């Protein structure tokens, strides 16, 4: 066994032969060695090439035999003719069966030379034939009155063209009935030969002997060689029956007839369209070569061709439609096509999808909206299969305002195109639909279309539709938000209008309301959201815990419209939204007129005292419970509360004044006022003032025994108490508003 490599061939000795080795190839191995051999198309090509070579050799032999004279045939030994020759008479006394011996023949194959030798008894006669002195026209030359019954022009043509099998395209026949005489003097084989390539001959045959003309056409079609090309060019320029020839060429199935007529430079331009049309009229079901040249020619000139513009029988119509379809032609203007052919082109969708063509295909409807298009199933399917072209046709048609006019059509179309049209085409379809086509229930159409419908506002703004949409999309997106805002209110279906299988409408209300209020990204204005929620006519307040806190007027609107409870839970939920949400809400709140939970305004005390309306409402409560509302060292809050207390004449406990002072020197004035109002003990005064820093710290450190403070009522009152307690002496500095303090 030998290994040939990657192919893996097995070489096996034959046990019954001396040294003979056989190669065994599996299918894959054979493919590895000879990959081209398994390609069927390559074998077809090889077979076709071989067949053409054989046909070419046969054609050469036929041409030789048709044109050869006696001398040439004598020299050609490869051709034989089957003939019958008489058998020699039987010997005397013997009998034959069935006939005399002289009537008995045998069949043999003989060359022309053998026939000459057997037929001609004279050596001189045989030699004259071999040397060309005696030929097929010997009887013609010897006829005394030859010209009277045949015609010199016919005889000349026979001798020069027919017998030599040569082409004389422009040979003129002058005698009366010349072509009839020619046909009578020649065999039918004449019309199969190249010698029949004559304008006058083909004119006659096409007009009077279509059967024989078909022989000429058949030869041209079978091998469109240089001679056939030359003759066809001449005939299409000068022939009287060129349209008939074009029709017969296509009827004979010449594959290249349409490409030739469309672009070959030998075809006269002024006759090209007519000839092409004639070829169409004669075409059958054969596989013509309808390349780009032929297809383009039809597209450009079909309006000039009677095959397209006039009535044709059913068979011709079907043939033309088949050719148009095979050439991938879409007719640009159906209105120019005869109604019979037009109907078939429409049935096969072989027209450009334009507004004028749709009007023609549909029989001049009012518009080309899909409501009208659906009246014809084939046209409807064509439009759905080509959304871009259909939508462009609608856009360009001044008579068609909408792609869809009714809800029934919209419902049906969406069911048909869902999942096949792109989002872009879907958006274009619904955006151009009539407002009157809006759907009552979006559940009746595929959910993949809902977003586009919402963007085009093409379904009812009902709670059922809204909740179905949210369940599918997951939120109130921009499209649904705009639909709801455009509607201005949400319709609530009565329970008895809910379709069987739907959830009860009341169960939807709370969820819908919460979703709307939380949709600040797509419905920014709080007033719009609250207005939509109010249209739901909800029984009772919503659970505040389910709402997303946000700044602005939302909380206030919710409270004033009774959508949420005006209580600590609601304010606690919105605390994270900050002061912009709470300030107007506190002003509007009834809850804040009573005892307030300090945590509801945690971190907002200073802002409360900066807001006159809120300050007036809860300021006193905060000052009275300052330790609860400001438990830490929030300087701004303590200072604001202290200032409010001073303004309102509210006396703070000493420990609270001490906290105010501890916030730093900025709290000096308000601290002194608070101390003045509170009348604390000297020790409390000292402890409080020390928190204010320099120079008040000297009361404790005594680093300086004299220092100055402002000469105002609060300072004079507080230090007067210290002076009375014997801790210092005070005096006003001359010419200055300063109080001099001397420690004792």
Which of the pair, 400 or 56, is modelled with greater confidence? 400
For residues 440-464, one letter each, b for 16 or more C-beta atoms within 10 angstroms of the residue's C-beta and e for the rest, the string is: bbbbebeeebbbbbbbbbbbbbbbb
pLDDT at residue 517 in the model: 97
Digit-coded pLDDT (tens) for 553-588:
999 999 999 999 999 999 999 999 999 999 999 999
Digit-coded pLDDT (tens) for 655-675:
999 999 999 999 999 999 999
Instruction: Report DSSP state, residue 161.
Output: I
As a whole number of angstroms, the distance between CA 199 and CA 289 comes to 27
596 within 8 A of 620, measured Cβ to Cβ: no
Q: Which of 142-151, 300-309, 393-402 has the lowest mean pLDDT?
A: 142-151
283 within 8 A of 323, measured Cβ to Cβ: yes
Check whether 20 has a pLDDT greater than 60. no
Mean of the pLDDT values across residues 628-634?
94
pLDDT at residue 456 in the model: 95
Which of the pair, 159 or 118, is modelled with greater confidence? 159
Mean of the pLDDT values across residues 443-465?
95
276 within 8 A of 241, measured Cβ to Cβ: no
Check whether 39 has a pLDDT greater than 90. no
CA angle 212, 240, 225 (to 5 degrees): 60
**Separation of first and last alpha carbons in the chain:** 130
Mean of the pLDDT values across residues 494-512?
60
pLDDT at residue 541 in the model: 93
Crossing angle of the two packed helices 339-347 and 355-362, in degrees rounded to 10: 110
Pairing between β-strand 738-743 and β-strand 706-710 as defined by DSSP bridges: antiparallel
**Secondary structure of residue 732 in the 3-state scheme:** strand
Q: How far is CA 588 from CA 111, 571, 601, 621, 622, in A?
A: 130, 12, 15, 17, 18
State both tokens at 376. 């014809």
Digit-coded pLDDT (tens) for 673-720:
999 999 899 999 999 999 999 999 999 999 999 999 999 999 999 999
10 within 8 A of 1, measured Cβ to Cβ: yes
Digit-coded pLDDT (tens) for 205-215:
999 999 999 99
Helix or strand run (H / E) with residue 687: helix 682-690
pLDDT at residue 268 in the model: 95
Distance of CA 620 to the CA centre of its chain: 71
Strand runs labelled E in 513-574: none
Which of the pair, 58 or 391, is modelled with greater confidence? 391
Give the full edge-to-edge strand order of the sheet including 706-710. 706-710, 738-743, 728-732
Q: What are phi and psi of 105, to 5 degrees?
A: -125, 160
Check whether 307 has a pLDDT greater than 80. yes
Strand runs labelled E in 537-677: none
* Model pTM above 0.85: no
- Mean pLDDT, the chain, whole residue set: 87
From the list 691, 692, 693, 689, the residue with the least C-alpha distance to 728 is: 689
């Amino acid at each position: 066994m030998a290994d040939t490599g990657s192919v893996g061939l097995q070489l096996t000795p034959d046990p019954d032969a001396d040294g003979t080795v056989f190669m065994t190839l599996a299918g894959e191995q054979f493919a590895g060695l000879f990959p081209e051999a398994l390609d069927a198309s390559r074998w077809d090509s090889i077979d076709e090439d071989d067949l053409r070579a054989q046909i070419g050799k046969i054609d050469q032999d036929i041409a030789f035999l048709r044109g050869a004279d006696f001398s040439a045939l004598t020299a050609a030994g490869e051709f034989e003719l089957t003939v019958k020759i008489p058998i020699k008479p039987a010997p005397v006394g013997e009998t034959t069966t069935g006939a005399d011996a002289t009537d008995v023949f045998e069949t043999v194959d003989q060359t022309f030379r053998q026939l000459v030798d057997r037929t001609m008894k004279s050596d001189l006669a045989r030699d004259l034939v071999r040397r060309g002195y005696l030929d097929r026209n010997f009887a013609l030359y010897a006829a005394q009155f030859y010209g009277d019954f045949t015609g010199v022009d016919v005889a000349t043509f026979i001798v020069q063209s027919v017998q030599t099998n040569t082409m004389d395209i422009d040979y003129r026949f002058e005698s009366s009935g010349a072509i009839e005489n020619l046909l009578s003097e020649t065999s039918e084989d004449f019309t199969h030969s190249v010698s029949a390539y004559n304008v006058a001959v083909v004119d006659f045959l096409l007009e009077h002997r279509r059967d024989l003309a078909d022989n000429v056409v058949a030869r041209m079609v079978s091998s469109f060689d240089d001679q056939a090309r030359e003759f066809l060019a001449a005939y299409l320029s000068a022939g009287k029956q060129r349209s008939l020839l074009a029709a017969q060429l296509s009827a004979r199935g010449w594959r290249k007839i349409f490409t030739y007529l469309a672009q070959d430079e030998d075809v006269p331009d002024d006759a090209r369209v007519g000839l092409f049309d004639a070829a169409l009229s004669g075409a059958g079901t054969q596989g013509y070569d309808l390349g780009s040249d032929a297809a383009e020619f039809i597209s450009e000139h079909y309006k000039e061709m009677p095959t397209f513009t006039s009535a044709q029988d059913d068979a011709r119509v079907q043939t033309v439609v088949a050719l148009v379809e095979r050439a991938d032609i879409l007719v640009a203007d159906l209105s120019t096509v005869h109604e019979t052919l037009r109907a078939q082109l429409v049935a096969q969708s072989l027209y450009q999808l334009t507004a004028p063509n749709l009007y023609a295909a549909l029989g001049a409807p009012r518009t080309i909206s899909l409501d009208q298009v659906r009246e014809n199933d084939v046209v409807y399917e064509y439009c759905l299969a080509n959304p871009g072209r259909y939508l462009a046709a609608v856009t360009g048609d001044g008579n068609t305002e909408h792609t869809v006019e009714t809800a029934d059509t919209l419902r049906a179309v969406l069911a048909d195109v869902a999942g096949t049209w792109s989002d872009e085409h879907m958006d274009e379809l619904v955006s151009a639909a009539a407002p009157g086509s809006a759907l009552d229930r979006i559940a009746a159409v595929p959910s993949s279309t809902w977003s586009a419908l919402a963007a085009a506002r093409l379904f009812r703004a009902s709670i059922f539709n809204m909740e179905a949409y949210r369940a599918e999309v997951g939120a109130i997106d921009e499209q649904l938000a705009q639909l709801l805002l455009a509607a201005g209110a949400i319709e609530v279906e009565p329970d008895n209008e809910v379709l069987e299988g739907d959830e009860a409408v009341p169960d939807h209300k709370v969820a819908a309301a919460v979703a709307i209020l939380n949709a600040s990204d797509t419905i920014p204005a709080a007033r719009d959201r609250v207005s939509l929620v109010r249209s739901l006519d909800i029984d009772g307040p919503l659970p505040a815990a389910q709402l997303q806190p946000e700044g602005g007027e939302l909380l206030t609107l919710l409270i004033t419209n009774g959508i949420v409870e005006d209580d600590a839970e609601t304010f606690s939920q919105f605390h994270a939204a900050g002061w912009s949400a709470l300030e107007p809400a506190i002003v509007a709140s009834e809850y804040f007129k009573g005892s307030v939970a300090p945590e509801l305004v945690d971190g907002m005390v200073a802002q409360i005292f900066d807001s006159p309306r809120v300050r007036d409402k809860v300021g006193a409560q905060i000052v009275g419970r300052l330790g609860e509302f400001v438990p830490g060292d929030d300087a701004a809050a303590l200072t604001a509360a202290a200032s409010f207390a001073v303004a309102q004449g509210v006396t703070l406990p000493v420990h609270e004044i001490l906290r105010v002072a501890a916030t730093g020197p900025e709290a000096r004035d308000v601290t002194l006022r608070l101390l003045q109002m509170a009348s604390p003990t000297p020790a409390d005064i000292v402890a409080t003032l020390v928190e204010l820093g320099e120079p008040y710290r000297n009361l404790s450190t005594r680093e300086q025994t004299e220092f100055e403070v402002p000469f105002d009522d609060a300072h004079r009152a507080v230090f007067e108490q210290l002076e009375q307690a014997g801790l210092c002496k005070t005096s006003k500095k001359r010419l200055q508003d300063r109080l001099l303090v001397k420690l004792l």
